[in-house]
Homo-oligomer: A and B are copies of this chain.
């Protein structure tokens, strides 16, 4: 009872997990409907444009989720460098806890993959990176950093984190993330 729109939620949940751990092309619609225990009819009922629309939804939803988390960490520390370090290490712990198999929402390497699919998906991924960068930059500006410098450093933080996550997932080891966190103060100084 009262299972009104939870089929949609189940689909988006599992699809997000699969897209971000396996990749867009590696994830089949059949696997999504099997894992989410939802019928294929529902998938095309909620996402008439199919896989691409579903992916777009997953990207936007995950992006917002992460932005919220990032904002939380950036606000809850007096020193920006410490905030970023906490954020990175929390993600590292999360990844390790799930044996590098769970949804590590920041791992946006799907961006390049989906960029080849359609212009719409590429634009969505662009926005994701820009949003994250903005959150960090705004915090730095508030600290008195000049705007242009802040944008630049925020971009570096995002890049470093994405790259470290890529290495960590490949090697199934949080060491690259630890090294990244350690270097943050030197970058933001």
Contact = CB atoms under 8 A, between A and B. Distances in A.
A176 interface: yes
B179 A116 contact: no
Contact of A116 (B23, B164, B180, B183): B23
Copies of this protein chain in the complex: 2
A186 interface: yes
A158 interface: yes
A53 to B, nearest CB: 18
A169 to B, nearest CB: 5
A125 interface: yes
Contacts of A187: 183, 186-187
A24 to B, nearest CB: 8
Nearest to A23: B113
A156 interface: yes
Interface stretch (A35-43, A76-84, A104-112, A139-147): A104-112
A20 to B, nearest CB: 10
B159 A163 contact: yes
Nearest to A115: B170
Contacts of A176: 155, 158-159
B115 A112 contact: no
B152 A182 contact: yes
A90 interface: no
A129 B166 CA distance: 10
Nearest to A177: B159
Interface of A: 21-26, 107-109, 111-113, 115-116, 122, 125-126, 129, 152-153, 155-156, 158-164, 166-167, 169-171, 175-176, 179-180, 182-183, 186-187, 189
Given A22-B113, A156-B180, 4 more contacts: A23-B113, A122-B170, A129-B171, A162-B167
